[in-house]
């Protein structure tokens, strides 16, 4: 049983608490820190937590606490992590790890020097659909991964600090792109080095200093391309979609907006429908189990099982640092309008992998480009001569 100090009592802290005290059942929040006394008291009451405080270090140093869960605004992550290192307490931190890679690296260095357990709470790489898709990719069902695209769009976050560029560190690129980049990394291979990023970003709708819409490409050392599409301007709810294309197959995932649960209501008796839903009337798309579909249950199970087994979780502060470095390059590219290199002074994956080549040989003379059956019933081959490079068409 893990005894947890929750730092932050807002939207994400409550999502985490619902999961922490849900699937495994044996873990317990024993201390809650909030910057406001009234929200700390309310959280403690709702989750039957005996200790609440407005002093962060008091929560971390509570004698019963052995694990700290950080669900605070981005600008408070580093101070919380350093306090955990000082106390020698295991720590899990919500995404993004830092407001930039420099901040993330300081946190990564601190937990590693302190020798404490560290987990990066990236829930969308723990969703049931993602885990099943990743298993298929790792088993070779799609062959060599060529392209991985991830999209997260919605009308915007819940709390005021997200909209403040200084507190948050950025806009939708940092808030949503961290999910999408780690999804792409996972499909392509987290040991494959990200090389450079091309990104477009703009503030299209919201009266804020940060970007509210962005699209980016991440080039990897093995020739694969990761793509992210993020927006705080999308109308219609929370849209989570992933696509993976390989030399032998394709995967399409729709994780939240359309999941096979459709409902129409005039609004009588309707209340909460799903995260980021914009209406409770008309045709609605509820989600059967949000905690599970968003990956929280599997994420925390992995975290606590890793602690008990003495191993690293699937997502560590190092992963958060790599993600921040990729997003730093995205911000640079959005300003320069050029491909920008990913600066990773600490890299623990493969080096100089190079673009893979798996040319499909038809026979000693030809490579096979394509094989198909036409609408008139003939079987046709497109072949390339290995010596001359000539491309021919052949019916068989």
- Chain Cα centroid distance, residue 167: 20
Residue 73 main-chain phi, psi, to 5 deg: -55, 155
Rounded Cα distance, 286 and 296, in Å: 18
What does the pLDDT read at residue 25?
A: 66
Task: Match 């490409």 to its residue by tokens.
Answer: 217
* CA 368/CA 33 separation, integer angstroms: 63
Nearest to 139 by CA among 147, 149, 131, 129: 131
Q: Would you say 199 and 215 are in contact if contact means Cβ atoms under 8 Å apart?
A: yes
The tens digit of pLDDT for each residue in 242-291 reads 999 999 999 999 988 877 788 888 877 666 666 667 777 888 888 888 88
pLDDT recorded at residue 302: 96
DSSP codes, 153-209? E-S--SSGGGG-HHHHSSSHHHHHHHHHHHHHHHHH-TTSPEEEEEEEEE--SSSSS
pLDDT value of position 273: 67
* Torsion angle of C-alpha atoms 297, 298, 304, 305, degrees rounded to 10: 140
Longest pairwise C-alpha distance within the chain: 78
| Alpha-carbon span 29 to 105, nearest angstrom | 28
Which tokens is 304 given?
């606590």
The secondary structure element, H or E, covering residue 348 is none
Of 39, 40, 45, 38, nearest in space to 59 by CA: 40
Q: What is the pLDDT of residue 373?
A: 85
In this prediction, the residues of the chain whose per-residue pLDDT falls under 50 are none
CB of 346 closer than 8 Å to CB of 107: no
Which string of DSSP letters, residue by residue, matches 239-285? Answer: EEEEEEEETTEEEEEE-SS-SS--EEE-STT----STT---SSEEE-
What pLDDT is stored for residue 374 in this prediction?
A: 79
């Amino acid at each position: 049983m893990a005894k947890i100090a929750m730092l932050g009592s807002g939207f994400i802290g409550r999502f985490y608490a619902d999961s922490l005290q849900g699937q495994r059942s044996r873990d317990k929040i024993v201390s809650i820190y909030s910057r406001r006394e009234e929200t700390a008291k309310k959280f403690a009451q709702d989750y039957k937590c005996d200790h609440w405080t407005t002093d962060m270090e008091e929560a971390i140093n509570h004698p019963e606490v052995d694990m700290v869960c950080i669900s605070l605004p981005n600008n408070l992550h580093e101070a919380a992590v350093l306090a955990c290192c000082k106390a020698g307490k295991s720590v899990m931190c919500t995404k993004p790890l830092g407001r930039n890679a420099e901040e993330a690296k300081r946190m990564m260095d601190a937990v590693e020097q302190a020798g404490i357990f560290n987990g990066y709470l990236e829930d969308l790489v723990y969703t049931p659909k993602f885990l099943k898709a990743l298993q298929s990719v790792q088993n070779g069902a799609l062959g060599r991964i060529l392209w991985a695209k991830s999209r997260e769009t919605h009308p915007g976050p819940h709390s005021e600090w997200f909209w403040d560029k200084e507190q948050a560190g950025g806009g939708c690129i940092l808030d949503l792109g961290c999910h999408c980049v780690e999804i792409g990394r996972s499909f392509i291979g987290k040991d494959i080095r990200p090389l450079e990023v091309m990104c477009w970003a703009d503030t299209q709708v919201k009266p804020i200093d940060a970007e509210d819409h962005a699209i980016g490409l991440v080039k990897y050392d093995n020739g694969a391309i990761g793509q992210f599409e993020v927006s705080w301007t999308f109308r219609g709810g929370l849209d989570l979609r992933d696509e993976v294309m390989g030399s032998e197959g394709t995967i399409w995932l729709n994780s939240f907006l359309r999941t096979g649960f459709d409902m129409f209501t005039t609004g009588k008796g309707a209340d909460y429908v799903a995260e980021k839903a914009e209406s409770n009337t008309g045709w609605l798309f509820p989600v059967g189990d949000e905690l599970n579909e968003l990956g929280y249950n599997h994420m925390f199970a992995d975290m606590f099982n890793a602690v008990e087994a003495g191993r690293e979780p699937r997502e560590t502060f190092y992963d958060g640092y790599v993600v921040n470095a990729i997003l730093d390059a995205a911000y640079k590219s959005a300003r320069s309008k050029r491909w920008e290199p990913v600066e990773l002074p600490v890299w623990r994956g493969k080096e100089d992998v190079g673009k893979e080549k798996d040319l499909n040989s038809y026979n000693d003379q030809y490579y096979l480009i394509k094989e198909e059956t036409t609408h008139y019933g003939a079987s046709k081959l497109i072949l390339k001569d290995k010596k001359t490079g000539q491309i021919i068409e052949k019916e068989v």
